[in-house]
Amino acid sequence: MSPKARIMTVLGSRPFLTLLVVAAVWIVASFATRGFGAFGHLRYLVELAAVIGLVAAGQTFVVIAGGIDLSVAAIVTVAAVGLPLVSSSADPTGLSAILLVLTMTTAIGLVNGLGVAYLRVHPMIMTLAMATFLQGLLIIIAGGSAVSLQNPLVGWLGNARPLGIPAGVVLWIALAAIVLFVMHATPFGARIFAIGANPRAAELSGVPVPATTIAIYGVSGLTAGLAGVLVLGMNGQGYVGIGDPYLLASIAAVVLGGTSILGGLGTYAGTIPGSILLVTITALITVVNASPGWRSILFGSLILGLLLLSGREAARR
Amino acid sequence: MANTAPLLTARGVSKAFFGNPVLRDVSIALLPGRVHALLGENGAGKSTLINMLSGALRPDGGTIEVDGKAVSHMTPPEARQAGIAVVQQELSLTANLSIAENIGLGAYPRRFGLVDYAELASRAREACALVGLHEPLSTPVGELSLGRRQMVEIAKALYRKPRVLILDEPTSSLSATETRILTDLLERLRSEGTAILYISHRLNEVMALCQHVTVLKDGSVTSDQPLEGTDAAGLVRLMVGRDPGDLFPKWQPSPSTAAAVSVRGFSAGLMRDVDLDIRTGEVLGIGGLVGQGQEDLLLGLYGAIPAKAASAMVNGNQALPSGVPKANALGLAYVPADRKREGLHLIHPIITNLMLPAFARLPALKPRNRGNERELAHSLATQLGIKGDLGRAAQALSGGNQQKVALAKWMPHEPLVLLLNDPTRGVDVETKREIYIMLRQLAQAGKAVVLMSSDTPELVHLCDRVAVVREGRVAAMLEHGALSEEAIVAAAVAADKPKVAA
């Protein structure tokens, strides 16, 4: 492909178009609303988007592989509520608690994967059941009360701004680099696309389908856990339900970014602007002075509208 | 039957997709009481022509005429109303619906606004009887073998009592017996005055069945003439545009006789208690009626379905492969019959399809080298004559080229045993020839090639030995010297005789 053709491909690609939409909304909103375009505000939007971006990283893998993970919200909550509970004063850095929680959420994802790969439970059923199970468990363990954070590393992650950039955004950038590398530059990534496009053909080509599937859901558990740690740091305390907004958001970010909900096609490069777009919409709705009920209705309708505009796919199989 | 007015005519039609002309000034007239053959290599524009005759596509130029009257903007429902029925190459059945429901789909008899199932059953039974389908009408179509599904598809067309019947490669997945039933049926429909358009790559069928032939080459009609006085070689010449030479390469005895795979008491799926040796340097044919367990034999050996054996040796390993990755590691490769559903990733670029087996076995997180991938893919494409930009989606390729991709992707891994499931189904003559030559070359190079085929001539001319499978067992093992179409068919149906006689 000639360099010019390559540039044209990039310019016409969904990730780039989503980015253009974000830029357009930002510019229009900056003129329409006082303070929207301030650097501090935009930085805050990206910081909020980082949480969605982390959850949606695992979700992108799962959706490309032809599945869906409906347990991400519950996993975010598990991490945010569980971390204060497992934090011990014996470790002054707080790192051990983070690692423990991430191991836990990864294990939850692996169980999802086992169910999908070996028990042949449909991903929707498997992950929804897992979410319900986790919610019950959380209510038993944490009850209705919020748990406060006593973990220096998590606090730093949620509040520090090295070089003016929020630590959460730094974490997002680092994770995005890894995700994009794994997705597009390793055989593992190629296998995921193959499984999503045609699982039977992938299997007959020698792709270890069950092992890959399990790994993907494990990754989704890990990134949802990371998001939970970040949201806890930003919030200061964890409570049951803290992860709830991230289920629809993660799926919407994936699809807004141009990843096919049918699997087999897509990229995390689109999910990134997709996440920022979602946060921007939420911010705009907040500006409109409406009751929480109407805000939710507006948000749902807007996402549906955007997906109808952008996520419609031609019949292809 | 001469001098009857054509029922359906295309007059000077043209069609282009995205600026690429697919058909140029094509005319064809379907007369009642005549079986009209439409020949051409894959990509010659046959399917496009059918789609225009049945209202699925609108010609860019020229006209479609029904009963001599030009119809502009004919839609598929209007075409059906006019008595035009098409049996598509891509089966259009719904797997979860029963045979009867599939046959009547879209034209259910109604009673008080509800589906009249009794009427549907009786009319579907009538259509099934015509094509020799004896399965219970309530059987879900998904449970039928490919060949039987094809018969349902034909019954579906007959259910509508068409005046014009268009068949796109109806016999490509049919056994010899089923083909005979179909041939008799078409003969009868013809004598009753139906106009039939028949597309097939099997020239002996065309010779036996058809009275008139239209040959398409690169979107233009190169010949439109009665079949009388033409022979098969002449037809091939018309299609390919040059002398065909021998379709099959010269057979030579295999150089070595070491066993690559050896199983005793092997069972998998329909296959029960089979003893089989596959030798290096040979092309071993697997024949028999469709759906006798041949596919399970290949899949079982490949580790893709559960299998067990009293004793097994696979390329030095003393057990059957536990799964496909293990089978690949042992030097086995499998090319499925259903390219679209099992062989290829249609929405992915050709290059990704070619590289997939490599991705499957490389260390999961080892960085890919795109430069090397491109180089390898290009050399594979050149080697097998795959035409077109490798960055395009595989669905853009013609059937023959898709099959080449499905084959080519295994070549870099130099499999010792190549398990092929009907590799020439729906492939044009020229590509068939290339595939045949390649298979013999692979055998010559000391590989073991297992060729499961529903095309009996290719078993006869290409194979060193043919295992004829019947009811899950190897009914006969025919050596090259004893191979003939009659011998294979005889072995395939022998045990059926007492039962079928009823």
How confident is the model at residue B496, as a pLDDT?
Answer: 43
Note the pLDDT tens digit of each residue in B451-501.
Answer: 998 778 888 888 999 999 988 899 899 998 888 877 887 787 664 444 333
Residue B2 has pLDDT above 50, yes or no: no
Listed ranges A218-227, A252-261, B138-147, B470-479; the one with the highest mean pLDDT: A218-227
Note the pLDDT tens digit of each residue in B351-363.
Answer: 999 999 999 999 9
> With pLDDT > 90 as the criterion, what percentage of chain A qualifies?
56
Are A270 and A82 in contact, with CB atoms under 8 Å apart?
no
How far is residue B477's CA from residue B118's CA, in Å, rounded to a whole number?
47
Residue B285 has pLDDT above 80, yes or no: yes
**A182 in contact with B at a CB cutoff of 8 Å?**
yes
Closest CB to B341 among A181, A194, A200: A200
A188/B336 touch (CB, cutoff 8 Å), yes or no: no
Residue A193 has pLDDT above 80, yes or no: yes
Domain ranges of chain A: 52-267
Task: Output A78 or A147, whichever has higher pLDDT.
Answer: A78
Q: Which chain B positions have a beta carbon within 8 Å of A118's beta carbon?
A: none
Residue A314 has pLDDT above 50, yes or no: no
Residue of B nearest to A212 (CA): B364
A187/B360 touch (CB, cutoff 8 Å), yes or no: yes
Residue B18 has pLDDT above 70, yes or no: no
How far is residue B364's CA from residue B372's CA, in Å, rounded to a whole number?
17
> With pLDDT > 70 as the criterion, what percentage of chain B qualifies?
94
Bridge partners (DSSP) listed for residue B188: none
Residue A168 has pLDDT above 90, yes or no: yes
Bridge partners (DSSP) listed for residue B285: B451, B466
Closest CB to A187 among B341, B348, B366: B366
Which residues, 6 or more positions from B281, have their beta carbon under 8 angstroms from its beta carbon?
B254, B255, B256, B257, B258, B443, B444, B446, B447, B448
How confident is the model at residue A202, as a pLDDT?
Answer: 95
The CB density around residue A222, as the number of other CB atoms within 10 Å, is 23
Q: Which chain B positions have a beta carbon within 8 Å of A198's beta carbon?
A: 341-342, 344-346
Residue B242 has pLDDT above 60, yes or no: no
B345/A316 touch (CB, cutoff 8 Å), yes or no: no
Q: Detail the DSSP E strand segments found in A39-83.
A: none
Closest CB to B364 among A187, A203, A264: A187
Residue B30 identity: L
Q: Give first-to-last CA distance, chain A, whole Å.
A: 27
B342/A201 touch (CB, cutoff 8 Å), yes or no: yes
How far is residue B418's CA from residue A49's CA, in Å, rounded to a whole number?
51
Listed ranges A278-292, A293-307, B222-236, B317-331; the one with the highest mean pLDDT: B317-331
Give chain B's contact residues with A (Cβ, < 8 Å). 302, 304, 323-325, 327-328, 334, 336, 341-348, 352, 355-368, 391, 395, 409
The domain B8-240 is classified under which CATH number: 3.60.15.10, 3.30.70.260, 3.10.50.40, 3.40.50.300? Answer: 3.40.50.300
Q: Which chain A positions have a beta carbon within 8 Å of B358's beta carbon?
A: 187
Residue located via tokens 């021998």: B246
How far is residue A27's CA from residue A34's CA, in Å, rounded to a whole number?
12
Mean pLDDT of chain A: 89
A187/B334 touch (CB, cutoff 8 Å), yes or no: no
Residue of A nearest to B390 (CA): A1
How confident is the model at residue B499, as a pLDDT?
Answer: 37
Note the pLDDT tens digit of each residue in A76-128.
Answer: 999 999 998 887 777 778 888 999 999 999 999 999 999 999 999 999 999 99
Same fold, B8-240 and B246-331+416-502: yes
How far is residue A105's CA from residue A83's CA, in Å, rounded to a whole number?
11
Count Cβ neighbours within 10 Å for each residue of B446-477 and write b for 16 or more, e otherwise. ebbbbbbbbbbebbbbbbbbbbbbbebbbbbe
Residue A103 identity: T
Q: Give first-to-last CA distance, chain B, whole Å.
A: 37
3-state secondary structure of B414: coil
B357/A206 touch (CB, cutoff 8 Å), yes or no: yes
How confident is the model at residue B502, as a pLDDT?
Answer: 32
Residue of A nearest to B302 (CA): A204
How confident is the model at residue B253, as a pLDDT?
Answer: 76
Which two tokens mark A267? 């990229």
Give the minimum alpha-carbon distance from A212 to chain B in angstroms, rounded to a whole number.
9
**A185 in contact with B at a CB cutoff of 8 Å?**
yes
How confident is the model at residue B43, as a pLDDT?
Answer: 65
3-state secondary structure of A58: helix
Domain ranges of chain B: 8-240, 246-331+416-502, 339-414
**A65 in contact with B at a CB cutoff of 8 Å?**
no
Give the minimum alpha-carbon distance from A206 to chain B in angstroms, rounded to a whole number.
5
Query: CA distances (Å), B55 to each of A269, B49, B203, B453, in order?
Result: 42, 10, 28, 34
Which of A62-66, A112-116, B385-389, B438-442 has the lowest average pLDDT? Answer: B385-389
B366/A186 touch (CB, cutoff 8 Å), yes or no: yes
Closest CB to B352 among A1, A190, A317: A190
> With pLDDT > 70 as the criterion, what percentage of chain A qualifies?
97
How confident is the model at residue B131, as a pLDDT?
Answer: 85
Give which of A61, A179, A184, A205 to mutate to test B binding, by max B Cβ within 10 Å.
A205
Give which of A118, A192, A204, A313 to mutate to test B binding, by max B Cβ within 10 Å.
A204
Q: Which chain B positions have a beta carbon within 8 Å of A182's beta carbon?
A: 365
- By DSSP bridging, strand B448-452 and strand B283-287 are parallel
If you average pLDDT over residues B200-213, what whole number do you get? 84
B347/A317 touch (CB, cutoff 8 Å), yes or no: yes
Give the minimum alpha-carbon distance from B371 to chain A in angstroms, rounded to a whole number.
12
**A263 in contact with B at a CB cutoff of 8 Å?**
no
Which of A57-61, B163-167, B381-385 has the lowest average pLDDT? Answer: B381-385
Closest CB to B367 among A186, A193, A208: A186
Chain A to chain B, count of Cβ pairs less than 8 Å apart? 94
Residue of B nearest to A190 (CA): B359
What's domain B246-331+416-502's architecture? Answer: 3-Layer(aba) Sandwich (3.40)
